[in-house]
């Protein structure tokens, strides 16, 4: 079996040359439909890097929802309210982050989590920093991973601190994992 670092390298290499606008648009559509059908009010998104699905682009499709973006503070994530037109500044790892006051993360109903690859069971391969795993470990909210079908795999090595997703959304399906409590 491949190590997490070997899998990261292989999936990132594949992702750098495989994403189409039509696939991205379909994933965004499925995510918006999912969010609106479940009536989540306080939603954590992310600003994409390195070929991730651009979930920030769906902000305008969620006018009746409160949306939050993360920023890195030391070894942890904190979330800040954002709206259309809010200025973002380059933060840790070159990721665009919001400025403004931090919100209590317990208000989040749902967090859309970036990842390099996922399994239908909700396992996630991130970049290896553990930021989302640490953040999600203390929360009781719905976690959604998004990726292209190409990055939905049968197996990913998991460790005790790794957090599983409740749903994984691709361009072809919404997978309800065994981790789901809703």
Global model pTM greater than 0.75: yes
Q: Taking a C-beta distance cutoff of 8 angstroms, is the pair 146, 78 a contact? A: no
Q: Distance between CA 117 and CA 18 in Å, rounded?
A: 14
- Both structure tokens of 78: 């904190």
Q: pLDDT per residue over 9-50, tens digit each?
A: 889 888 877 767 889 999 999 999 999 998 899 999 999 988
Q: What are the residue ranges spanned by the domains of the chain? A: 4-176
Q: Is the four-CA dihedral 149, 51, 30, 164 of positive or negative sign?
A: positive
CATH topology of domain 4-176: Rossmann fold (3.40.50)
Output the pLDDT for position 182. Answer: 46
Closest CA to 152 of 58, 27, 57, 49: 27
Tokens of 75: 């070894």
């Amino acid at each position: 079996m491949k190590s997490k670092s070997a899998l990261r390298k292989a999936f990132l290499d594949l992702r750098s040359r495989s994403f189409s606008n039509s696939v991205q648009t379909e994933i965004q559509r499925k995510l918006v439909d999912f969010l609106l059908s479940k009536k989540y009010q306080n939603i954590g998104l992310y600003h994409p890097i390195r070929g991730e699905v651009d979930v920030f682009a769906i902000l305008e499709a969620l006018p009746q929802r409160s949306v939050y973006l993360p920023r890195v503070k030391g070894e942890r994530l904190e979330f800040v309210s954002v709206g259309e037109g809010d200025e973002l500044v380059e933060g840790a790892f070159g990721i665009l982050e919001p400025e403004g006051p931090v919100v209590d993360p317990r208000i989040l109903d749902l967090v859309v989590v970036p990842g390099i690859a996922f399994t239908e069971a909700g396992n996630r391969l991130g970049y290896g920093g553990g930021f989302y795993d640490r953040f999600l470990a203390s929360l009781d909210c719905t976690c959604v991973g998004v990726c292209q079908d190409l990055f939905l795999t049968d197996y990913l090595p998991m460790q005790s601190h790794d957090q599983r997703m409740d749903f994984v959304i691709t361009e072809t399906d919404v997978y309800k994992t065994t981790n789901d409590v809703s």
